[in-house]
């Protein structure tokens, strides 16, 4: 299904990185409300490293490129989210075949989601990025190829991020606030939804 040329892979990686970088201030503001205010800059630093390696990354087969993005994120993002997003991309790259169909993508995403849970010792329902990654994992697992699938997954991701507003944080720095974490979107849930939407928009354009 997704047999990307290196030009398409380059555009995909570039769009993903630029989308995250463009939202630095929004991610910063969310993390200022319930964390330490660095999520925007952490993600920006990671994706600037990805952009700096854009030519090298886009010459690789898809699985290797995705793994290499994970390595950049592990090395550059820092904080709690660096190792977690690193695990997501490293596992996704490890599990994806070179030309994944929907079923292979769903299987790889399931493994990547499990890797983030294991790394974070966390699960859905704790007001973290897992509250977006989990519903997206479920939607992919239940999906069949359909022209509206991309829109549906984007809606799942966006609504799942919104749903973290009313949750109480049980993992990560926001958990230090207890009840006061309620009323703000989780920064990592927001960045996860942004990345998922950016990838879908680019694959569909």
Q: How many Cβ atoms are within 10 Å of 179's Cβ, its own excluded?
A: 8
Distance CA 52, CA 73 (A): 13
Task: Choose from ligand ADP, Mg ion, none: what does 80 bind? Cβ within 5-8 Å by kind.
Answer: ligand ADP
Cβ neighbours of 172 (radius 10 Å): 23
DSSP code string of 175-205: GGGGGGGTTS--HHHHHHHHHHHHHHHHHH-
Q: Please give the residues from 12 up to 31 whose contact with Mg ion meets the rule CB under 5 A.
A: 31
Which tokens go with 9? 């892979």
Tell me which residues in 32-61 interact with Mg ion (CB under 5 A).
Answer: 35-36, 38-39
Residue 184 C-beta: closest distance to Mg ion, Å: 13
Answer with the entry of ligand ADP, Mg ion, none that 128 interacts with (C-beta below 5 to 8 A by kind). ligand ADP
What six digits make up the tokens of 66? 């995705």
Closest approach of Cβ 31 to Mg ion, in Å? 4
Residues that bind ligand ADP (CB under 6 A): 31, 35-36, 38-39, 42, 79-81, 84, 120-122, 128-130, 171-173, 186-189
**In angstroms, what is the minimal distance from the CB of 198 to Mg ion?**
21
């Amino acid at each position: 299904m997704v047999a990307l040329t290196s030009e398409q892979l380059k555009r995909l990686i570039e769009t993903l990185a630029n989308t995250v970088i463009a939202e630095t201030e929004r991610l910063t503001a969310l993390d200022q409300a319930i964390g330490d205010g660095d999520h925007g800059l952490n993600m920006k630093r990671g994706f600037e490293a990805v952009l700096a390696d854009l030519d090298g990354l886009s010459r690789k087969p898809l699985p290797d490129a995705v793994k290499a993005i994970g390595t950049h994120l592990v090395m550059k993002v820092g904080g709690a989210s660096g190792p977690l997003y690193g695990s997501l991309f490293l596992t996704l790259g490890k599990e994806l075949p070179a030309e994944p169909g929907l079923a292979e993508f769903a299987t790889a995403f399931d493994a990547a989601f499990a890797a983030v849970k294991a790394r974070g010792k966390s699960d859905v329902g704790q007001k973290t990025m897992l509250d977006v990654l989990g519903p997206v994992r479920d939607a992919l697992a239940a999906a069949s190829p359909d022209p509206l699938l991309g829109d549906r997954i984007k809606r799942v991701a966006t609504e799942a991020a919104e749903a973290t507003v009313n949750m109480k944080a049980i993992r990560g720095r926001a958990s230090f606030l207890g009840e006061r974490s309620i009323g703000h979107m989780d920064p990592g849930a927001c960045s996860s939804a942004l990345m998922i939407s950016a990838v879908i928009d680019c694959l569909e354009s």
